[in-house]
């Protein structure tokens, strides 16, 4: 049974995660959106905690991206928001710009690690403008991450680089996400270690 709630009413114990797919053609119906299904599939396999997903499919419009992120932060109170698409150098790729406008603090390490991971697979990873920010409010905060648009790249970025035996040789960015959510006062996220082993500092046993 999937951990995503199928009922129309959210349970108070659920962790709210926003998923935003930014694509003109998918929004217009020219082809099916692949970003949100890829994000949902990975998250439901990697997270053991109960989650509630707020999904949005929107066009490559700066104002629309900014508006959607504000809604997920302020109205839906998502602790984590993942976007996919619109992160390249093309003129309509404005997702990172809108993300920076919404955020109150940038988290550059996530973007650096995402490009390092992608460079193991494609040399054009240097063209990515993916960013990560924290959006702070008086009573809560959200972590917003820009991810690639392709399903395989989404999984690689979140999960990391594996060797031929399936062992992680370069950690994915999600390894650091649960602890980051801890630090900004969000809910405790427990992961499935077979998919993603979250890192947290070990408690002093003395």
Residue 44's φ and ψ, nearest 5 degrees, are -70, -20
% residues pLDDT > 90 (the chain): 90
150-205 pLDDT tens trace? 999 999 999 999 999 988 999 999 999 999 999 999 999 999 999 999 999 987 65
Q: What pLDDT is attached to residue 202?
A: 87
> What's the rounded Cα separation, in Å, for the pair 76 and 31?
28
Is 7's pLDDT higher than 80? Answer: no
104-130 pLDDT tens trace? 999 999 999 999 999 999 999 999 999
| CB-CB contact of 136 with 186 (8 Å) | no
Please give the domain boundaries of the chain with CATH numbers for all domains.
15-183 (3.40.980.10)
β-pairing, 168-171 vs 160-162, is antiparallel
pTM of full prediction above 0.85: yes
84-107 pLDDT tens trace? 999 999 999 999 999 999 999 999
Is 58's pLDDT higher than 90? Answer: yes
Closest CA to 84 of 144, 124, 137: 144
Q: What pLDDT is attached to residue 154?
A: 97
Q: What pLDDT is attached to residue 11?
A: 80
Overall average pLDDT of the 38-66 stretch: 97
Sequence-distant (6+) residues with CB within 8 A of 16 are 10, 51, 52, 54, 76, 77, 78, 79, 80
């Amino acid at each position: 049974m999937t951990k995503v709630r199928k009922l129309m009413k959210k349970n108070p114990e659920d962790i709210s995660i926003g998923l935003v797919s930014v694509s003109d053609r998918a929004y217009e119906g020219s082809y099916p959106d692949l970003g949100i299904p890829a994000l949902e599939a990975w998250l439901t396999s990697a997270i053991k905690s109960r989650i509630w997903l707020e999904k949005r499919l929107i066009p490559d419009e700066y104002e629309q991206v900014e508006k959607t992120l504000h809604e997920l932060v302020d109205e839906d109170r998502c602790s984590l928001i993942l976007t996919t698409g619109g992160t390249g150098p093309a003129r309509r790729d404005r997702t990172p710009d809108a993300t920076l406008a919404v955020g109150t603090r940038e988290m550059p390490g996530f973007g650096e690690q995402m490009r390092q991971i992608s460079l193991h697979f494609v040399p054009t990873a240097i063209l990515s403008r993916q960013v990560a920010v924290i959006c702070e409010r008086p009573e809560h905060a959200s972590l917003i991450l820009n991810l690639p648009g392709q399903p395989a790249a989404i999984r690689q970025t979140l999960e990391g680089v594996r060797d031929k035996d399936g062992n992680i040789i370069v950690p994915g960015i999600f390894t650091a996400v649960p602890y980051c959510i801890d630090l900004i006062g969000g809910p405790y996220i427990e992961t499935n270690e077979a998919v993603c082993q979250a890192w947290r500092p070990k408690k002093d046993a003395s």
